[in-house]
Amino acid sequence: MSGPKPLSQAPRDAILTWYADAARTLPFRATTDPYAILVSEMMAQQTQAARAGEAWTRFMADFPMVEVLAAAAPADVLRAWRGLGYNRRALDLWRTAGLIVERFGGTVPRDLVALESLPGVGPYTARAVAALAFGLPVGAVDTNVRRVLGRIVAGDAGTLAPAALQRLADESVPPDRPGEWTHALMDVGATLCHPQRPDCGLCPARPWCRFPGTSKGHIRATREGQAPFRSTSRWLRGRIVERLREAPNGNWVVLERSIGEHDGAAVAAAARSLANDGLLELDGASGIDLRARLPIA
């Protein structure tokens, strides 16, 4: 099957040498516990690594073992998720813990198919856990890795089909150092290979990279979105969950008739959407006032 050739030994060695000196200090990088690594990777989805690291330390103090997390009330897990956003991930992690206890005897599976069968665990998270926790030579492709590898081999990740990029990532992993390699590529992408104005002069892969010589070496800044963040349903959903976190466990909370720029109809729609996702419970007999609480079971 045709596709880009994997990275050769020279750029891999250069990236790993750079990483040995420039690696980010993140608390979850000190552990080899598969459960702790799984927690960190699910937290780091769509969240900056530094912020995920702070939350991970607190979360692991509350739920140090997968059995503890599986036995916890979902409301407690949602409270511990404070500050991370995308609260559905908290329930996915809680459900995943339950399945690991029920199906796998409390041991995080090392098989990719088994990992991907867990709630909230997609191809990237499964491969990250497999590489970091079990030393399997598989390539975890997140946004940073996609950009780094795509630029090195093709000048632009957008020119590579997802399947081709995944093959490139898998075949480029140093078989004896998959964990370090995973972190190294992420760090190159996070600290040097920025979407706009990358620090090419400091990049260890520059001698082999096709990006600096392409017409896309100078990228136009892209607009972040069409709507102000406070006007989005995601913002509203986050404020509702945050409001419920402040209430004692099991207590009903009357939701405001309006929140920020959102009127009562929008608040009610967001609350019902959150209830459908299992992130809160609604009081069906609340009459005019809409009452909600974090799920208690």
- Cβ distance 10 to 175 under 8 Å? no
CB 241 within 8 A of CB 253: no
Non-local (6+) Cβ contacts of 140 within 8 A are 124, 125, 127, 128, 131, 169, 182
Four-CA torsion 137, 140, 141, 147, nearest 10 degrees: -70
Strand, coil or helix: what is 73? coil
Residues 6 or more apart in contact with residue 253 via CB below 8 angstroms: 243, 244, 247, 291, 292, 293
Give the whole-angstrom CA distance, residue 276 versus residue 249. Answer: 20
What is the maximum alpha-carbon separation in the chain? 68
102 noted as active-site residue: no
How many other β-carbons are positioned within 10 Å of the β-carbon of residue 92?
A: 18
Residues contacting 240, CB < 8 A, separation 6+: 255, 259, 267, 270, 271, 274, 280, 292
Q: Supply the residues annotated as catalytic.
A: 41
